[in-house]
Amino acid sequence: MGVREIESFLSHLATTGKVSAATQRQALNAIVFLYKHVLNMELSDAISLVRTKRRARLPVVMSREETQAVLHHMQGLHLLMAQSLYGAGLRLMEFVPRRVNSIDIQRGLIYVRFGKGNKDRTAPIPKTLFSKLQYQLESVGKIHAADLRDGYRIAWLPPGFARKIGSAA
């Protein structure tokens, strides 16, 4: 089987087989692996084929009214978290593991470390949440002070950070 037959097969997958782009890529990678590691043959890098088009999927978004209705049924810390997520445009796992020092009320920013794509970024804090977040930070500070008084001196750290700077806990 030569390059022409491989191109024909992969194009057939896209046109007649109507497979997804990921399936077509997987088939191509399997063929390249077969030739390179099993048959010990080099394939020409010039394989041209009809590529399956990726479908653009629109996100499902709640309307402003739907969002307000959901927030209306929440209270306490869960309400503050939901308002922060919505108001700052954060993903759930960008907000849940926040440390106290990643919230800067004076500048009105939340520092997101290792967000989507392992990237760092900042997100604005809505002004309506300044006092609520300040109160929450003060409450957490009191709990921390009580824990220190009771002899608890170690905080959980991500494993990589704990290895790097073990005394930070």
Tell me what pLDDT residue 130 has.
93
> What average pLDDT does the chain have?
84
How confident is residue 75, by pLDDT bands cut at 50, 70 and 90?
very high
95: tokens are 């907000």
| Lowest mean pLDDT, pick from 49-58, 124-133, 151-160 | 49-58
**Domains, the chain, ranges and CATH?**
1-55 (1.10.150.130), 64-140 (1.10.443.10)
pLDDT in tens, 113-127: 887 888 889 999 999
Q: Tell which residue, 131, 132, 130, 122, has the closest CA to residue 79.
A: 132
* Per-residue pLDDT at 12 exceeds 80: yes
